[in-house]
Amino acid sequence: MSTGDVSRRDFLKLSAIWAGSAWIVGFTTASSSNHREPYRTLTDEEAAIIDALADQIIPPDEYPGGKDAGVTHFVDQQLGGYLKGFASEYKTCLPALNNDAESRFGKPFIHLDEREQYSYLSELESGQFDNTSWGPYRPSSFFNIVRHHCMMGFYGSPVHGGNKEYISYQMLGLSVVQEPKRPGAP
Amino acid sequence: MANTKVDAIIVGSGAGGGVVAKELAVAGLSVVLFERGGWARYSEHRDDELTAQRSFPLHCYFGPDNERYRRVAVDHDGNERIVLPNDWAYHNNAACVGSGTVCYGGMAWRFMEEDFKMKTVYGSVEGSTLDDWPISYHDLEPYYEKAEWEIGVAGNDSLNPFAPPRKRPHPMPAFEHNKEGRILENAAREIGYHPFSIPMLRNSIPYGDRPECIHVRNCVGFVCPVGAKNGTHNTVIPTAIRSGNCELRTDCQVTEILINDRGRVTGVSYFDQNDQKKEQHARIVILAASATETPRLMLNSASRFFPDGIGNRNDWVGRNLQGHAYCGADGLFDKDIYDDVGPGASVAVSDFAHNNPGVIGGAVLCNEFIRLPYAFTGAHPPNTPSWGKEHKKNQRTYFHRTASLRGPVQEMPNFESRVEVSQNVRDHWGVPVAKISGFKLDEDIRTAHFIADKAEKWMEAAGAVKIWRNIPDTGVSGSQHQSGTCRMGNDPKTSVTDKYGRVHDIDNLFIADGSLHVTNGAFNPVLTIMALGYWVSDYIIKEWEHGNRFGG
């Protein structure tokens, strides 16, 4: 009778297939590709703002940042799916976040340099902009939601649109495929 | 349209319901086992942390779904809020065949003798309905044994001086510790604790035609890729079906318990997978839908005989909701302690479950299951950045250097922590949803501090260079350890069922889930729920064999 589990042999077979596709991946593929999927729920302007946010929240270093890991695609896909309840908050807050940087730095958020972007977001996070509201939304709460979603997009399963080629797992030194192990074995 | 009448209906196929289905079907009763979800499959869910039963920010793969289900959560000030299943305030339990037993960590604790007689041991507690169970550990001992052998537990009590007495050893040898577990085990010994390997509903050797555990990282919250984790879905439920006497009806939402003009239960009404309303009649109905859905179903089943819900003459249905007041300590090490051998949790001490001077109850203390990459983003030490360059750097360093100790503090039950049905919010089928309100008592928080101290000391001995405590908030508990809402007892005025799980005043309605718990022990409750499944079944079968047809 089927209980929904694959047998150990099938699992190993699946693993081998997965290992084949998931591990032959260089870090450069993510950023060098010019081809990208069109967005479903975001405009290009909104996507550019999320790209910048994702790279501030998870900046590129010796490993790709949020943008190259596909965080924006995760957000795009989920705002039309499981996170659709947040769609109007994004639509209202993204342009507001971008434009309100002008009052502080003289330029919209996406045109600030990295350090300015970081300062601006730190101020947003700490509630320094909460005396204004973006529609019914509070700037610090919106930042917190975006932070949360970026983490999901970067560290969650690629099946939801982010974590391209399990980039974060590679960064953490975690195999994508889990080979059978034994406690105490080297 | 009604189906053919059967001997027994079981509502819910989790830890309790799965066991009852098997016991009754094998004893020759015809059984319909209702499950609101379907089968959970590894091939569908794989490694998806964002929908796993451990952290489900997108949705709950194991159900219930966000489209058809909702509840009302009430905060301290009485404000009501509609919550979806993947909100923690929903107090979700998996809605699939086997329920939480498919995706749990599988800790297989027997409660200790004291856990069954808390009032005798500790006396009355202000604000609490603390009481003894109407049965003792010794009453339940043979049924714990049966659960361990039929479902499959790996363990060894010889290193745990606080283990309650047992007649037969565990059927499988205990698991070895991974790297972190070995460090913590040695440290515990150094400071005089008594560490041992956590008994687990998981195969340490091939058992029951299923292979041994392969120690994946994604264990708790996931379907086991090889079927080495033992739940009711891959043990007793298949046995029940093979007997030829049990029909498993998946994707069916039971909405009401039917009662006749003599005050006897005649069956249930339910919506099938096509949302068609149907009835199923039976001689006996056994509710095993969880400590939130069982009372909801009872409260939604009002009649001339029970105007406030079936079995609810004395307003005890839904009361005393409890889970565990989880607490502990986390530690950051200056070296790698991570070897990626899952599931992670393996070492425990029972030193502080009871006999703590000046403290009521206590908790077993265990190391934590591996925290997966997304969950770990929120598990860094306090006062470190929650985003940016440093967070990312910490994520990759700390992932290999962090350990956690956690203890399920036994809560003092209180009458105001409860499940009601909402007056104005309904689910997809138009049925009033569960409304959950309540709080923890100060006593629980005090015990949590006591246990966190012990965890901190353990973490220190293990060599952690930075240690931070984890103390629960004062909100109502429940979640996957939910229990207590239809407690068993000898006095119908202060309980919902008798000591066999039979609802007072109705001789053919039984309960077999965590709702029955008078108190929830200092341990994860699942093996106790399974044992109660055997205990309740044993009573029904004995009656059946004596010719009792429960009036039907």
Residue B250 touches partner A, C-beta closer than 8 Å: no
- State the maximum Cα–Cα separation within chain B, in Å, rounded to a whole number: 72
Residue from B250, B387, B391, B394 to probe the interface with A (highest A Cβ count within 10 Å): B387
How far is the C-alpha of B121 from the C-alpha of B111, rounded, in Å? 15
- Residue A145 backbone dihedrals phi, psi, to 5 degrees: -65, -45
Q: Report pLDDT for A35.
A: 56
Chain B nearest CA to A154, separation (Å)? 8
* Cross-chain residue pair A183–B396, CB shorter than 8 Å: no
- Residue B254 backbone dihedrals phi, psi, to 5 degrees: -80, 130
Alpha helices for B215-328 (secondary structure H): 236-242, 293-299
Element (H, E) at B423: strand B418-426
* Cross-chain residue pair A78–B58, CB shorter than 8 Å: yes
Domains in chain A, number: 1
Contacts of B59 in chain A (CB under 8 A): 82
Alpha-carbon dihedral of residues B248, B255, B512, B416, nearest 10 degrees? 150
With both helix axes pointing from N to C terminus, report the angle between A114-125 and A87-105 in degrees, rounded to the nearest 10: 120
Chain B nearest CA to A69, separation (Å)? 13
Extract the tokens encoding A173.
Answer: 């030194």
Q: Is residue A149 part of a domain?
A: yes
How far is the C-alpha of B24 from the C-alpha of B27, rounded, in Å? 5
Residue from A2, A3, A12, A15 to probe the interface with B (highest B Cβ count within 10 Å): A3
How far is the C-alpha of B46 from the C-alpha of A5, rounded, in Å? 11
Option in A7, A151, A160 nearest B377 (CB): A151
How far is the C-alpha of B153 from the C-alpha of B145, rounded, in Å? 10
Whether the Cβ atoms of residue B311 and residue B503 lie closer than 8 Å to each other? yes
DSSP state of B92: -
B546 by Cβ neighbours in 10 Å (0-12 / 13-18 / 19+) ranks as exposed
Burial per residue of B203-229, b for 16 or more beta-carbon CB atoms within 10 angstroms, e otherwise: bbeebbebbbbbbbbbbbbbbbbbbbb
Contacts of A83 in chain B (CB under 8 A): 58
* Cross-chain residue pair A8–B386, CB shorter than 8 Å: no
Pick from B387, B75, B91, B362: nearest CA to A149 = B387
Tokens 């020759």 sit on residue: B28
Q: Report pLDDT for B159.
A: 95
Option in B58, B178, B373 nearest A160 (CB): B58
Extract the tokens encoding B409.
Answer: 């503090």
How far is the C-alpha of B254 from the C-alpha of B123, rounded, in Å? 40
How far is the C-alpha of B512 from the C-alpha of B528, rounded, in Å? 11
In sequence order, the β-bridge partners of residue B117 are B132
Q: Is residue A154 part of a domain?
A: yes
pLDDT tens string, chain A, 186 residues long: the values are: 333 344 444 433 434 333 333 333 333 344 444 456 799 999 999 999 999 999 999 999 999 999 999 999 999 999 999 999 999 999 999 999 999 999 999 999 999 999 999 999 999 999 999 999 999 999 999 999 999 999 999 999 999 999 999 999 999 999 988 788 888 765
Pick from B46, B343, B368: nearest CA to B222 = B46
* Cross-chain residue pair A6–B225, CB shorter than 8 Å: yes
Q: Report pLDDT for B551.
A: 78
Contacts of B43 in chain A (CB under 8 A): 4, 6
* Cross-chain residue pair B215–A181, CB shorter than 8 Å: yes
What is the gyration radius of the CA atoms in chain A, in angstroms?
19
What is the DSSP pairing of strand B365-367 with strand B347-349? antiparallel
Whether the Cβ atoms of residue A86 and residue A75 lie closer than 8 Å to each other? no
Q: Report pLDDT for A184.
A: 78
How far is the C-alpha of B180 from the C-alpha of B468, rounded, in Å? 18
In sequence order, the β-bridge partners of residue A16 are none
Contacts of A174 in chain B (CB under 8 A): 217, 340, 373
Q: Is residue A113 part of a domain?
A: yes
Long-range CB contacts (< 8 A, 24+ apart) of B128-132?
B128/B412, B128/B413, B128/B414, B128/B441, B128/B443, B129/B319, B129/B320, B129/B413, B129/B414, B129/B415, B129/B494, B130/B412, B130/B413, B130/B519, B131/B413, B131/B487, B131/B489, B131/B494, B131/B518, B131/B519, B132/B518
Extract the tokens encoding B399.
Answer: 């992932």
Q: Report pLDDT for A186.
A: 54
Q: Is residue A4 part of a domain?
A: no
Contacts of A9 in chain B (CB under 8 A): none
* Cross-chain residue pair A4–B226, CB shorter than 8 Å: no
Residue from B42, B50, B394 to probe the interface with A (highest A Cβ count within 10 Å): B50
Residue of A nearest to B175 (CA): A183
pLDDT tens string, chain B, 552 residues long: the values are: 568 999 999 999 999 999 999 999 999 999 999 999 999 999 999 999 999 999 899 999 999 999 999 999 999 999 999 999 999 999 999 999 999 999 999 999 999 999 999 999 999 999 999 999 999 999 999 999 999 999 999 999 999 999 999 999 999 999 999 999 999 999 999 999 999 999 999 999 999 999 999 999 999 999 999 999 999 999 999 999 999 999 999 999 999 999 999 999 999 999 999 999 999 999 999 999 999 999 999 999 999 999 999 999 999 999 999 999 999 999 999 999 999 999 999 999 999 999 999 999 999 999 999 999 999 999 999 999 999 999 999 999 999 999 999 999 999 999 999 999 999 999 999 999 999 999 999 999 999 999 999 999 999 999 999 999 999 999 999 999 999 999 999 999 999 999 999 999 999 999 999 999 999 999 999 999 999 999 999 999 999 999 999 976
What lies within 8 Å, CB to CB, of A12 at 6+ separation is A180
Residue B342 touches partner A, C-beta closer than 8 Å: yes
Contacts of B238 in chain A (CB under 8 A): 1, 3
Whether the Cβ atoms of residue A63 and residue A26 lie closer than 8 Å to each other? no
Alpha-carbon dihedral of residues A83, A84, A86, A91, nearest 10 degrees? 130
Q: Is the dihedral of CA A131, B382, B83, B37 positive or negative?
A: positive
B304 C-beta neighbours (distance < 10 Å), count = 8
* Strands ordered across the beta sheet of B80-83: B80-83, B71-74, B432-437, B418-426
How far is the C-alpha of B8 from the C-alpha of B498, rounded, in Å? 19
Q: Report pLDDT for A179.
A: 82
Q: What DSSP letter does each residue of B529-543 carry, written as one string? A: HHHHHHHHHHHHHHH
Q: Is residue A10 part of a domain?
A: no
Q: Is residue A1 part of a domain?
A: no
Interface of A with B in 27-86 (CB under 8 A): 56-59, 61, 63, 78, 81-83
Q: Report pLDDT for A178.
A: 77
Whether the Cβ atoms of residue B373 and residue A174 lie closer than 8 Å to each other? yes
Contacts of A176 in chain B (CB under 8 A): 47
Whether the Cβ atoms of residue B532 and residue B516 lie closer than 8 Å to each other? yes
A122 by Cβ neighbours in 10 Å (0-12 / 13-18 / 19+) ranks as middle
* Cross-chain residue pair A56–B388, CB shorter than 8 Å: yes
3-class DSSP assignment, residue B442:
helix
| CA atoms within 13 Å, Cβ hemisphere of B72 | 20
How far is the C-alpha of B86 from the C-alpha of B321, rounded, in Å? 20
Chain B nearest CA to A57, separation (Å)? 5
Q: How many residues can be counted in chain B?
A: 552
Residue A181 touches partner B, C-beta closer than 8 Å: yes
Q: What ipTM is given for this predicted complex? A: 0.95
Interface of B with A in 274-333 (CB under 8 A): none
A21 by Cβ neighbours in 10 Å (0-12 / 13-18 / 19+) ranks as exposed
Q: Report pLDDT for B53.
A: 96
Option in B40, B48, B396 nearest A159 (CB): B48
* Cross-chain residue pair A183–B177, CB shorter than 8 Å: yes
In sequence order, the β-bridge partners of residue B74 are B80
Extract the tokens encoding B312.
Answer: 């609810």
SS3 per-residue string spanning B444-464:
HHHHHHHHHHHHHHHHHHCCC
Q: Is residue A160 part of a domain?
A: yes
Structural domains in chain B?
6-545 (3.50.50.60)
Burial per residue of B142-168, b for 16 or more beta-carbon CB atoms within 10 angstroms, e otherwise: ebbbbbbebbbbbbbbeebebbbeeee
SS3 per-residue string spanning B129-169:
CCCECCCCHHHHHHHHHHHHHHHHCECCHHHCCCCCCCCCC
* Cross-chain residue pair B341–A182, CB shorter than 8 Å: yes
Contacts of A155 in chain B (CB under 8 A): 49, 373-374, 376-377, 395
Contacts of A183 in chain B (CB under 8 A): 175-178, 181, 215, 341, 346
Q: Report pLDDT for A177.
A: 82
Amino acid identity, residue B3? N
A104 by Cβ neighbours in 10 Å (0-12 / 13-18 / 19+) ranks as middle
Whether the Cβ atoms of residue B428 and residue B69 lie closer than 8 Å to each other? yes
Show the domain range for A71. 45-171
A49 C-beta neighbours (distance < 10 Å), count = 22
Q: Is residue A8 part of a domain?
A: no
Whether the Cβ atoms of residue B437 and residue B320 lie closer than 8 Å to each other? no
